[in-house]
Amino acid sequence: MTERICYACGERAAAPATRCDCGEPLWLDTDPHDFDWNAVADDPGMWRYAELLPFDSPGGVADAAGGTPLLRLSRLDEFAGVRLHLKDEGSNPTGSFKDRGSALGVAAALESGVNIVGTVSHGNMAMSTAANAASAGLDCVVLVPDDIPESRIDLISQYGPRLLRVSGDYAALYDRSLELGVELEIPFYNSDVPLRVEGQKTTALEICEAFAPGVPDAIVLPVSSGGHASGVWKALRELKTAGTIDQLPRLYFAQAAACAPIAEAFDAGDDAVSPVEGGETIAYSIANRDPPSGTRALTAARETDGGVVAVDDDEIRAARGAIAESGGLSVESASATSLAAIRRLAVDGELGEEDDVVAVATGRGVSESPPSSERATVDRVDIDELGERLGSR
């Protein structure tokens, strides 16, 4: 299954292309027609939906990806203003939904016979890719910004990847790494590449199966690159095509006000998302000033009758506090934006107290920093020399 298709113009392309000539991101061209809930497999976690995925589980930690709890947290209803359900993605092995995409990426790499994978990230995606690679016996290269805090190095290093601190334009690394990856046969599983999106469909498949034969009124998730949002939207479209659901839940996306390019485009009624200046926020995991799948997420919100909401750091703090104090869960600040957005939508009358709404809590809040490790190799390189360095591994 290497055919890819553009959601925007319908143009097809073969792997390893990740972008359409029109500029929009590609996703896998899948045929879900035969799927129904009776066709789910007796496999662990996300692999239950093997029928809708291009690869089987490689085993190991990948078997722990997905299958996360959907909690009915009625004590948060008053704060939220809706009937609140929380999808606890912190239950994934490295503490975020990124494991769904990483697990599928590693499965694809093993199938194609390469012995290394890569990613560009200094956060959850770096940990997730490194952990899944480690469990599959693959090498892993993680490109991080030169000024990364040491505490993050320790978190990523525990899985023993090769870390390259790259100086130069970190934003340019997203495309540069994909180009180099094709040249050097290192699959880079960046935030919205087709295989990552495919794995991240399973968040929505699990939510819909839990509500079957109905659907929740709305699903709300924090959005940065737009990769997760794309996967969720694709899954809903596939279920509709298969006739497994009759209507799509409304999709609402949450951003931090300090860096909210998709929310700004939504409010302005723009057709496409433009880069913003971007400021500091406690929700650092979703501060992407130029999201590669921003326009795709914008389209998903519009076509499902949903929206995009920007919440400020005070609202995020209040929501994070409420989830801990009334829900008993510690989530990342980025993840708390979903509840903050729901509260705002309820105050504005877009969601009501009879609505069943799923807040996707994308990442876990509490984790112990490991002791500094000698395990990983950490080198410095300039972006202009990256090709040479990766080529001479």
Binding site for Zn ion (CB under 5 A): 6, 8-9, 11, 20, 22, 24
To ligand PLP, the closest distance from the beta carbon of 193 in angstroms equals 11
Q: What, of Zn ion, ligand PLP, none, does residue 6 touch, CB below 5 to 8 Å by kind?
A: Zn ion
Q: Which of 203, 285, 295, 299 lies at the binding interface for ligand PLP (CB under 6 A)? A: 285
Q: What, of Zn ion, ligand PLP, none, does residue 98 touch, CB below 5 to 8 Å by kind?
A: ligand PLP
User: Binding of ligand PLP at residue 177 (CB under 6 A)?
Assistant: no
CA-to-CA dists, residue 146 to 10, 167, 380, 382, angstroms = 39, 5, 7, 9
The answer to whether residues 254 and 337 touch, using CB atoms and an 8 Å cutoff, is: yes
Closest CB to ligand PLP among residues 194, 242 = 194
Q: Specify the DSSP class assigned to residue 114.
A: -
Q: Which of 30, 124, 135, 190 lies at the binding interface for ligand PLP (CB under 6 A)? A: 124
User: Binding of ligand PLP at residue 224 (CB under 6 A)?
Assistant: yes
The rounded Cα 170 to chain-centroid distance in angstroms is 19
To ligand PLP, the closest distance from the beta carbon of 339 in angstroms equals 13
Site string for ligand PLP, 83-102 (x = CB under 6 A): -------------x-x----
Distance CA 83, CA 33 (A): 32
Residues 37-66 that bind ligand PLP (CB under 6 A): none
């998730």: which residue's tokens?
221
Name which of 386, 389, 393, 392 is nearest 178 in CA terms: 386
DSSP bridge partners of 13: 4
Q: Which of 287, 362, 365, 386 lies at the binding interface for ligand PLP (CB under 6 A)? A: 362
- Strands 116-120 and 83-88: what pairing? unpaired
Residues 323-342 that bind ligand PLP (CB under 6 A): 332, 334-335
Q: What is the CA radius of gyration of the chain?
A: 20
What angle (nearest 5°) sits at the alpha carbon of residue 55, between those of residues 247 and 237?
A: 15
User: Binding of ligand PLP at residue 363 (CB under 6 A)?
Assistant: yes
Copy the structure tokens of residue 148: 């990364």
Torsion 294-295-297-301 (CA) sign: positive
Closest CB to ligand PLP among residues 57, 362 = 362
To Zn ion, the closest distance from the beta carbon of 30 in angstroms equals 17
Copy the structure tokens of residue 296: 């795709």
Q: What, of Zn ion, ligand PLP, none, does residue 362 touch, CB below 5 to 8 Å by kind?
A: ligand PLP
Q: Which residues bind ligand PLP (CB under 6 A)?
A: 96, 98, 123-125, 191, 222-229, 285-286, 332, 334-335, 362-363
